[in-house]
A = this chain, B = another copy of it.
Amino acid sequence: MVMTSDYNKKRNDIIKELTTFKKIDYSFSDGHILGSMCSAPHPIAREVYIKFLETNLGDPELFPGTKQIESNLIQFIKELLHAPKNATGQIVSGGTEGNITAMWIAKKLSGKKEIILPQSAHFSFQKIASLMDMKLVSVPLTKQYTLDFTKVNGKITKDTAAVLGIAGSTELGTIDPLPELSDICFDENVFFHVDAAFGGFVIPFLQKLGYDVPEFDFQLKGVSSIAVDSHKMGYSAVSLGTLIIREDKWLDLISVESLYISVKKHAGILGTRSGGPVAAAYAVAKYLGMDGYKKIVENCMNTTRYMQEKLDEIGLTLIIKPTMNVLGVKLSKPDIVAKRLSENGWRVNTMNHLSCIRIVLMPQITKEIIDEFIPILKKTCEEVGEL
């Protein structure tokens, strides 16, 4: 492809058009997206992503170097989650694909179709039910919005394929009683999947920082698989997650024969997939290391506390005391408040079923941004009669 002046002219027109669209988007970099569990990627992620853009890990023998980076990333995540030696990982596009893949394995392992899960399960489980014809058996929550373990009793039956526990719920960042769930699943020999899409890069560091959080990873003997997203608190680029499974042989259950690509067996849901996000996530993990992630979690928890204090000062209350850097702010009309904020350039997520807005204190949210946001939130709440 020769770069001619004709190329430049056409290129400029297209970039101009796309830039017009881009300007309508909200942006992570100004800190005005307060409700998302993603962020702008770490600078090294951008640089590395584009370098590996054209690699295709769906055809790994063409890209043995990138495949090695993928193995290194999986190794890093295994260490993060204290995975045993026999464990392996499957790179996925994020928590949704991680959850689907885990349930695919559980279905194949057990030959059964019921999933026992907390009411707060991510909506990807609705997809799983529809796609895979699995049945969701819902367990009510405690007043702290975690799975009520006393209600699990009797739900595990001969039809149970898997139990789900959440380590950092999408709604409020809560952690289910994972040690108890692990024990019962171990005793009953039932597949136990932990959705740590958000919490996987938070909880290990909360533990190191002295917060009182339960064990959540493969140190619990009943845990069969954990999904964790590098594109959430792993500070890398969308879309990249990892599903770690306790036994590498389980991958065979979701592998099919491939007759015309470079490997003869192909595991997992997707085919062609870029090595870009994989190399990016590895570069960020390598750049930050465990100490870097600990520092990020420390900072996020500090801004979380700061946000809490400021909300308290203007008279707003939380649904529950936060476990991690996720806040549910009680409102009687969350949709109206969110809409008004949106018109002023700020984005929070609404959860009408909990009558709250969600604010996630991602790494890019600073105290300065909070100081800018709070008066606008206050004014908005006053205008619509929330305060």
Contact = CB atoms under 8 A, between A and B. Distances in A.
Contact-residue bracket for chain A: 35 or more
Give the copy number. 2
Interface in A1-22: 1, 3, 7, 10-11, 14-15, 17-18, 20-22
A247 interface: no
A358 B260 contact: yes
A238 B54 contact: yes
Interface in A254-273: 254, 256-262, 266, 269-273
A324 to B, nearest CB: 15
B11 A44 contact: yes
Contact of A21 (B20, B33, B65): B65
A262 to B, nearest CB: 7
Nearest to A122: B271
Contact of A51 (B11, B18, B36, B94): B18
Given A25-B64, A93-B272, A132-B133, 19 more contacts: A15-B47, A15-B51, A15-B283, A22-B65, A26-B63, A56-B239, A58-B94, A94-B270, A94-B271, A94-B273, A97-B270, A108-B130, A131-B131, A131-B132, A131-B254, A171-B259, A171-B260, A229-B272, A239-B273
Interface string A24-46: 11101000010010111111101
A282 B33 CA distance: 26
